[in-house]
Amino acid sequence: MEYTVLGTSDLRITKIGLGTWQFGTEGWGFGQDFTEQEALATVDRALALGINLIDTAEVYGDGRSEEIVGKALAGRRDRVVLATKVLPRHLRARDLVRACDESLRRLNTDHIDLYQIHWPDSYVPLSESMAGLARLVEQGKVGYVGVSNFPVPLLRAAEDAFSGRIVSNQVRYNLLQREIENEILPYCREHGITVIAYSPLAQGLLTGKYDRNHLPADKIRQQNPLFREENLEQVFPVIDVVREIGKEHGATPAQVALHWVTQQDGVIAIPGAKRPAQVEENAGALEWSLSPDELARLDAVSADLDLSYF
Ligand SMILES: NC(=O)c1ccc[n+]([C@@H]2O[C@H](COP(=O)([O-])OP(=O)(O)OC[C@H]3O[C@@H](n4cnc5c(N)ncnc54)[C@H](OP(=O)(O)O)[C@@H]3O)[C@@H](O)[C@H]2O)c1
């Protein structure tokens, strides 16, 4: 396992963590495609493989994800850096305390290592939410504060309003969706803020297992414009290169995609997984190297995609 430090914190985290939006979320096929037992076994396997960062959110499965993670970590909470997120509608000072207490209860713990604002909110002033988060840190309920889906102007405003340091910005980043490279990634690097890449496998597309005749049928991905025909036309040639490069290393497309993301300075990834075999494959993404030539090929084939989100 490769480690790095989370932003300016003193937390040592693995460059590949585990995302758990899938746990408890029907839209991802929870209860049909995979079960709670498989989710618990996935966390078990992640820990056995040395993964030490687990990401969840109060909104995932309406709290079920946090509950499953809490159950999976019973008796070994201290082995992981536990990250969760608060909804924008809970950013008023009083709501924040209640939301944090509820997350602590579901996670079966007395502290959250990384508490992240899930999305910015335009109604609650950042001064109020950042002051509320600072109090949670003072009380020891929260170790460090991060944000998610924050563009640069809001990230700057959040930093100005916060008495401590913001250690991370969790944003979408994968070989097919590289928009953060324009502003967010350079800003975060300059400010010592770790980018936590979500959807690093483009919600499974970069694993190479989907094609036009076999696309995921769940609600979440049916709503993801990336899976629409006009975008898939541009996506498949990239996946062909990912597959070719993987073959040269005996690596799977998922491993190439995760390797590429975590190769970017200041970036770590939290691939979601539904079962132990997936986490096993993802954990093996860093056991080999991409040559400068291969990195250049991946860069060239994915640099000018013009995906449609409308
Ligand atoms: N902050 C935010 O707003 C935000 C937004 C999205 C996600 N996230 C976080 O980021 C995490 C990851 O993002 P994501 O779940 O959207 O996308 P992802 O990690 O790109 O894709 C996850 C999906 O890919 C498939 N998969 C994973 N590993 C695989 C493997 N080795 N082989 C084959 N298939 C594999 C699984 O679905 P199938 O097997 O069904 O294909 C899995 O559910 C989430 O769990 C969540 O914690 C945060």
Written as tens digits, the pLDDT of the chain (310 aa) is: 899 999 999 999 999 999 999 999 999 999 999 999 999 999 999 999 999 999 999 999 999 999 999 999 999 999 999 999 999 999 999 999 999 999 999 999 999 999 999 999 989 999 999 999 999 999 999 999 999 999 999 999 999 999 999 999 999 999 999 999 999 999 999 999 999 999 999 999 999 999 989 999 999 999 999 999 999 999 999 999 999 999 999 999 999 999 999 999 999 999 999 999 999 999 999 999 999 999 999 999 999 999 999 8
Residue ranges per domain, the chain?
A: 3-204+252-288
Buried b (16+ CB within 10 A) or exposed e, 65-104: bbbbbbebbeeeeeebbbbbbbebebbbeebbbebbeebb
Q: How many CA atoms lie within 13 A of 131 on its CB side?
A: 8
- Tell me how crowded residue 3 is: count the other CB atoms within 10 A of its CB: 12
- Residue 72 CA to residue 208 CA, distance in Å, equals 30
Q: Mark whether 60 is an active-site residue.
A: yes
- Residues whose CB is less than 8 angstroms from the CB of residue 132 and which lie 6 or more positions away in sequence, other chains included: 91, 92, 93, 96, 97
280 lines ligand 1 (CB under 6 A): no
Given 60, 115, 144, 198, the catalytic residue? 60
Determine which residue's CA is closest to atom 44 belonging to ligand 1: 19
Ligand 1: centre distance to CA 128 (Å): 32
Ligand 1: centre distance to CA 205 (Å): 10
C-alpha distance from residue 95 to each of 88, 116, 275, 277 (Å): 10, 15, 34, 39
Determine which residue's CA is closest to atom 41 belonging to ligand 1: 204
Task: Tell me if 260 sits within 8 A of 175, measured CB to CB.
Answer: yes
203 lines ligand 1 (CB under 6 A): yes
The predicted model scores a pTM of: 0.98
Q: What is the pLDDT of residue 122?
A: 86
Residue 85, beta-bridge partner list: 116
**Fold annotation for 3-204+252-288:** TIM Barrel (3.20.20)
Q: What is the pLDDT of residue 232?
A: 95
114 lines ligand 1 (CB under 6 A): no
149 lines ligand 1 (CB under 6 A): yes
- Residues whose CB is less than 8 angstroms from the CB of residue 284 and which lie 6 or more positions away in sequence, other chains included: 251, 255
